Amino acid sequence: MMQDHVFYDCATAPSPRRARMLLVEKSLKVPTEQIDLRKGEQLGDAFRAINPRCTVPALKLPDGTVLGDNASIARYIEEIRPDPPLMGRSPVEKAIIAEWNAIAEFEGLLAMAEIVRNSLPGLKGRALTGPKNYQQIPELAERGRARIEQFFETLDRRLAEHVYLGGDAFSVADITAFVAVEFAGWVKLAPSENQQSLLAWRKALAERPSAHA
Ligand SMILES: N[C@@H](CCC(=O)N[C@@H](CS)C(=O)NCC(=O)O)C(=O)O
């Protein structure tokens, strides 16, 4: 239990789910505060003072430092709790995991964000996260759908040759990609029947206790 830390979460949102899964994989429990994104709590003064970028997840450390991104949270947790390693063991494995984590973010999560943020009526005027408002661009939602199809293809090809995205060990790259694939379900996008490697990997990940985090 990391009693002296605070985890800022939103139980329904995909990005904090990555951090929640990481914490379960590391067998860590952190006192948690829910930020209600639907009510705009992330934009209120109280949370803005914690994370001026107005996003979750965030993690407050005992010295008051706030980590405001999955990248910094994962790096920190890996340093203070190295076992099991989720960011690689050898130099090459670390590099490959970083690469696949970036692919899952850019080609998976950001493509999904393009779809959702540029099409959902509830996100009108909120096409990007953060303190500034941006209008939706419907064409980006269309493009995002095409990108997700491509992302599934990329994952399926990689997973035909490796058990996990980073190679033979489960890692943060798998967490990021799994959250992106699950997020795609929000807009009824799913891997196709013939993407057998991707489907098998997804099934295996869904059976890990962290998938319920
Ligand atoms: N790069 C950030 C992205 C975080 C992010 O986009 N979080 C979303 C929830 S999934 C958020 O806080 N949204 C606030 C909003 O919609 O205004 C990370 O992964 O840590």
Specify whether domain 6-80 bears CATH 3.20.20.140: no
pLDDT tens, 3-37?
999 999 999 999 999 999 999 999 999 999 999 99
Cβ-count burial of 187 within 10 angstroms (0-12 exposed, 13-18 middle, 19+ buried)?
Answer: middle
Distance (Å) from CA 152 to ligand 1 centroid:
22
At 1 the pLDDT is 76
pLDDT at 83 over 90: yes
Which residues on neighbouring strands pair with residue 167, listed in sequence order? 164
Establish whether residue 171 lines the binding site of ligand 1, counting it when its CB lies within 6 angstroms of any ligand atom.
no
Its pTM stands at 0.98
Residue with tokens 């998938």: 211
Task: Give the C-alpha distances (Å, rounded to integers) separating 124 from 155, 171, 198.
Answer: 31, 35, 33
CA angle 120, 126, 142 (to 5 degrees): 45
Q: First-to-last CA distance in the chain?
A: 16
pLDDT tens, 12-21?
999 999 999 9
The CATH architecture that domain 91-212 belongs to is Up-down Bundle (1.20)
User: Atom 19 (ligand 1): residue with closest C-alpha?
Assistant: 70
DSSP 126-144: BSS-SSS-B---HHHHHHH
Range 43-68 average pLDDT: 98
3-state helix, strand, coil in the chain (%, to 5): 55, 10, 40
Q: What is the overall mean pLDDT for the chain?
A: 98
CA angle 49, 51, 54 (to 5 degrees): 105
Q: Where are the domains of the chain?
A: 6-80, 91-212
User: Atom 11 (ligand 1): residue with closest C-alpha?
Assistant: 55
Distance (Å) from CA 193 to ligand 1 centroid:
31
Residues 6+ apart with CB under 8 A from 24: 209, 210, 213
Range 140-163 average pLDDT: 98
Q: Which atom of ligand 1 is nearest to the CA of 123?
A: 16
At 175 the pLDDT is 99
Establish whether residue 70 lines the binding site of ligand 1, counting it when its CB lies within 6 angstroms of any ligand atom.
yes
